[in-house]
Chain A
Amino acid sequence: MAEFDAAGARGVFGFRRLPGVRDAIAVLLVLAVVVLLGLGARRMLGPLVLAAQPPISLSPWALPDYALRTVVRMLAALAASLVFTFAYATLAAKSRRAEMILLPLLDVLQSVPILGYLSFTAVFFVSLFPGRALGPELAAIFAIFTSQAWNMTFSFYQALKAVPRDLDEVSRSFRSSAWQRFWRLEVPYALPGLVWNMMVSMSGGWFFVVASEAIVVGALHVSLPGIGSYVALAIEKRDLTAVGWAILAMLIVILLYDQILFRPLTAWAEKFRVEQTAGEGGSRSVVLDLFRQSLVLGRLVHPVSTGLQGVMRARLTLPRPAARRVRASLPAPWPDVIWWTAVVAVIGYFGWRLFLFASPGLTWSDFATVAENGLLTLVRVSVLIALASLVWVPIGIAVGLRPKLAAAVRPAAQFLAAFPANLLYPVAVFLIIRFSLDPVIWLSPLMILGTQWYILFNVIAGASVFPGDLREAAASLRIRRWRWWRDVMLPGILPYYVTGAITASGGAWNASIISEAVTWGSVHLSASGLGAYIAQQTAAGDYPRIALGIAVMAVLVVATNRLVWQPLYAFAERRTRLD
């Protein structure tokens, strides 16, 4: 596609054949990114002896190198998430039987706290490549992967299920093969949602980078060179200046990521929207424009893009059975019965093994403690979501109703959401100690520091697409103050708000592990709660209790999603539909 644009541009603007400044910048940019990423990746393969790890330096001059290594890890995890998404979601969408298992499983995977994966897999990965950096690197990448993959998979699955019937029939009646159909129809259709979810995933990834680079599980201590380890060390050394440098470095990295990767991606993904109306102004990207206009780059990329297109258009047909006759009676139930019996047997077996593994070390008082802590965290998350809503819903509406302001604030809010709030924790802890505040209360806001922005920019999005005629009708009927909120605006933005609140609450649960127990040098502050409990057991390497904590958290998250958010979302959607 890009190739065709470039070809068109060559024909129409023949006079711009000479390479110009634009070309130089574009080519330099591409070369720089490729070379840097290559450098970062090569070092992952180097040797590493656990007992004699190279020390992490707190000098600000070490930061560019650390930042590069962190960025490479993030990208590797993103690529892995993408591959996982394509495979898992496609399987779930195409096979009814697989769907019955994969979907609930995904729900659970999503609600398991990310650090939970780390504590169980770190040792495995490290032992996979003894004496090499690759083991811990893979452990870190896997941890970041677990913070990114699930929502991308969900969005891709939903898009696959919602492919418009007529487009589907076109592809079938022109006898596209499954491979052609995947790249021509399904991926493009899913792309806008997928890109959006990649951005959300990336934010999640930044948040956990600190924890996944400085791995501490029981006796295993690994510090991979990166921004995360830098921050961890700064906290240990109580070096507030170093924390400041790390924040600055992170700001720059995220800004670059946004400009070089996500802006161009979102602007490019615009064309895959199915709504054939013009829509809201659409995002623009300086970098994408630069690439599109650079003829030299176009020529360089041409063979690559032609090759890729060729791959996507290849038939790669699998022998397919002919369409089945439509049955006039219900299919026999027994294949499903067999399938379910097999599934239940496998789950039962694993459940039994898990029970055998965990039960010797656990007593009833453990369950009581976990339940109590879970309840505390649940209360915390609920109160915080309510407070954040009280603050951000009115502000979001006020901003969303002013298009110019909204255009300025939305990227800022997205940027804030991408910024890993845990870099600010040391500052908060410093303040709590300084003014001797109660950690049980004052540590709580940290949970929502990073995720509250989802409420803000979803509400802004909702308010900015609120129909103008409905607003005018309200104005001409002189509906004001409380009634205006209750009858006009709040119902109008409800679906958007609910979407934002779901993301925010999921993020807050995940963040609880990091934010309920924080350290500053030798000072350990604990707010108690399920997150603190899991963090504590992870540091002690007490696997049965980690498993118990994680299981309870997963149950709590799935339960709130099923009992609160999903019904609320269904309700909001039904109420705001007019057909």
Chain B
Amino acid sequence: MVEQTQQVVLDLRQVRMAFAKRSGESLTVLDDVNLTLKEGEIRGLLGRSGSGKSTLMRIAGGLIRPTSGEVLYCGRPLREPSEGIAMVFQTFALYPWLTVLENVELGLDALALPRAECRRRALAAIDLIGLDGFESAYPRELSGGMRQRVGFARAIVCNPTLLLMDEAFSALDVLTAETLRTDFLDLWTEGQLPIKAVLLVTHNIEEAVLMCDRILVLSSNPGRIAADIPVPLRHPRNRLDRAFRDIVDDIYAILTSRMTESIGALTKVPGGLMQTVTHASVNRIGGLIEALMAPPYNGEAELAELADELSYEVDDLFPIAEALHILEFAELKESTIKITSAGRVYAQGGTEDRKRLFREHLLRFVPLAAHIRQVLDQREGHTAPRARFEYELEDHMTRKHAEKTLQAIIDWGRFAELFDYDDKTRRFRLEPPEE
């Protein structure tokens, strides 16, 4: 769309989101977010899982209110879901007991229109989105792509001004997602949609570059705006275009440098016990090391290239790369990842060597693992309840993150044979019992 000086649809000013932790202190998940969305714009929100982008989207939809800061929709403060804002969900969120037609009519419930008018508008939306013939089908009879079309029809039926898409294409297979994206872009560029502006949340860098006029990159822990990147390309865009690829690489570099920064910041915290560890399974860590060691990379690769080769998206590749970086099997720098000498040894070792090396690195570079081991060593009977560590972690992060972090540590600890965990009793112990 051509940039013009047009009306502001959505305006977020210094939005901050924080939750209360068990200790009573607050935990910030979004900080100082400013965003201005104008008429005719598709704006992307890009970030890794845990960057708070879904929270930001729910703030924009009026579903939750930020801890502080202002949210203005068409110039008025937004305190609850408002007329003129519609959402499309990753999981489609269709009511399984309603037919396609009834699901679409649901979008009109709040307007209290006469029945005939409801039906007419629903049928028109169904027609526009390419669902005619499916009016009386139930969602369970439809494929994923058709289900998401219902989601779109339901969103546009109430003639919204602002459309919010929450990972709308990420539950679909590659082909279906691409068809749906281009169909949507066609309707948008032809001006067939009532929508004035779109906010699109995604973790797929190429999707963002394909669809958006501007992309906001969010950093994690807490979510802040790391970069605001314009995409001055005409629709329809070509993924193989030089300019297209350059933007994709730029965004990779931004995300990677943000990631290394945040890891660095965490390990510098005194007693740095409480970093959030995103889970990367031992198999994937080994797999990535081997992929890096193999030609054509021979130990060093561009992340964007590597992700393409392995057909990974940001959310899949980054946790593994991050784990490699934390364990010092590889080093992240700008948009590249380079294997360390320990990583080379790991790649060549057999299972026992790998376990030994993994154990050493776990003890040296992951303070939480070392802490658990130390507690077990000191305790009589060499066992400790899981709850103990959960409480410690929850002083520093949300319950969900604490659980995920512990799960990752348990997986790594078991592989390294550093300690064992019994889910039945929910206790850590030094050795698995011998039978």
- Which positions in A face B, CB cutoff 8 Å? 1, 4, 8, 164, 166-167, 169-170, 172-177, 180, 184-185, 188, 191, 271-274, 276-278, 310, 313-315, 320, 322-330, 571, 574
Contacts and interface: CB of A to CB of B under 8 A. Distances in A.
B17 A326 contact: yes
A169 B89 contact: yes
Contact of B62 (A313, A320, A323, A327): A323
Contacts of A325: 65-68
Interface in B256-311: none
A14 B28 CA distance: 63
B140 A276 contact: yes
B363 interface: no
B20 A327 contact: yes
A494 to B, nearest CB: 14
Given A173-B87, A188-B95, A326 B80 contact: no
28 contacts: A1-B97, A166-B93, A167-B93, A169-B87, A169-B89, A174-B86, A174-B106, A176-B109, A180-B110, A184-B109, A188-B95, A273-B96, A274-B96, A276-B96, A276-B139, A278-B140, A314-B112, A315-B110, A323-B64, A323-B65, A323-B80, A325-B66, A326-B17, A326-B64, A326-B66, A327-B67, A328-B67, A330-B24
A170 B107 CA distance: 9
Nearest to A313: B109
Nearest to A5: B136
Interface residues of B, number: 50
Contact of A173 (B20, B24, B63, B140): B63
Given A320-B80, A327-B67, A329-B24, 7 more contacts: A174-B86, A174-B106, A174-B109, A174-B110, A175-B109, A175-B110, A313-B109
A144 B285 CA distance: 62
A324 B102 contact: no
Given A169-B87, A276-B139, A328 B26 contact: yes
Given A174-B106, A313-B109, A330-B20, A4 B67 contact: no
Nearest to B22: A330
A328 B136 CA distance: 46
Contact of A328 (B19, B79, B139): B19
A172 B67 contact: no
A174 B153 CA distance: 13
B99 interface: yes
Contacts of A329: 20, 24-26
Interface in B398-413: none
B81 interface: yes
Interface string B9-43: 00000000111100011101000000000000000
B390 to A, nearest CB: 16
A4 B19 contact: no
Interface string B377-406: 000000000000000000000000000000
Contact of B83 (A175, A272, A326): A175
B165 to A, nearest CB: 12
**What 5 pairs between A and B have smallest CB-CB spacing?**
A322-B79, A328-B26, A328-B18, A166-B93, A175-B110
A173 B102 CA distance: 17
Contact of B18 (A8, A174, A326): A326
A172 B63 contact: yes
A177 B67 CA distance: 25
Contacts of B218: none
Contact of A188 (B64, B91, B97): B97
Given A188-B95, A273-B96, A323-B64, A174 B80 contact: no
A8 to B, nearest CB: 5
Given A184-B95, A271-B97, A328-B18, A1 B102 contact: yes
Nearest to A315: B112
Q: Secondary structure of the B side of the interface? A: loop
A191 B110 CA distance: 24
A574 B422 CA distance: 13
B85 interface: yes
Contact of B81 (A1, A174, A571): A174
Report which residue of B83, B90, B136, B424 has the largest number of chain A beta carbons within 10 angstroms of its beta carbon. B136
Contacts of A176: 106, 109-110
Nearest to B138: A271
Contacts of A274: 96
Nearest to A175: B110
A177 B80 CA distance: 13
A174 B107 contact: yes
Contacts of A8: 136
B80 A180 contact: no
A8 B99 CA distance: 12
Contacts of B106: 170, 174, 176, 184
Contact of A323 (B19, B63, B158): B63
B423 interface: yes
B24 A323 contact: no
Contact of A326 (B19, B95, B158): B19
A174 B20 CA distance: 29
A177 B26 contact: no
A324 B139 CA distance: 34
Interface in B78-128: 79-83, 85-87, 89-93, 95-99, 101-102, 106-107, 109-110, 112, 115
Interface string B48-85: 00000000001001111111100000000001111101
A393 B384 CA distance: 38
A297 B80 CA distance: 44
Nearest to B23: A330
Contact of A175 (B66, B81, B95, B136): B81
Report which residue of B26, B61, B95 has the largest number of chain A beta carbons within 10 angstroms of its beta carbon. B95
B61 A173 contact: yes
Contacts of A277: 140
Given A323-B64, A325-B66, A325-B67, A272 B81 contact: no
Contacts of A271: 96-97, 138
B93 A169 contact: yes
Contacts of A313: 109
B65 A177 contact: no
A330 B139 CA distance: 41
Contacts of A185: 95
Contacts of B86: 173-174
Contacts of B18: 326, 328
B97 A272 contact: yes
Nearest to B112: A315
Contacts of B99: 1, 4
A180 B106 CA distance: 10
Contact of B80 (A1, A184, A315, A322): A322
A324 B95 contact: no
Given A167-B93, A272-B96, A328-B20, A180 B109 contact: yes
B63 A169 contact: yes
A276 B92 CA distance: 12
B138 A170 contact: no
A559 to B, nearest CB: 24
A163 to B, nearest CB: 11
Nearest to B18: A328
Nearest to B89: A166
Contacts of B20: 327-330
A167 B95 contact: yes
B154 to A, nearest CB: 8
Contacts of B63: 169, 172-173, 323
A8 B135 CA distance: 10
Report which residue of B64, B93, B102 has the largest number of chain A beta carbons within 10 angstroms of its beta carbon. B93
Contacts of A164: 93
Nearest to A187: B97
Nearest to B85: A173
Report which residue of B90, B93, B97 has the largest number of chain A beta carbons within 10 angstroms of its beta carbon. B97
B93 A170 contact: yes
A329 B26 CA distance: 6
Nearest to B79: A322
Contacts of A273: 96
A304 to B, nearest CB: 15
Contacts of B65: 322-326
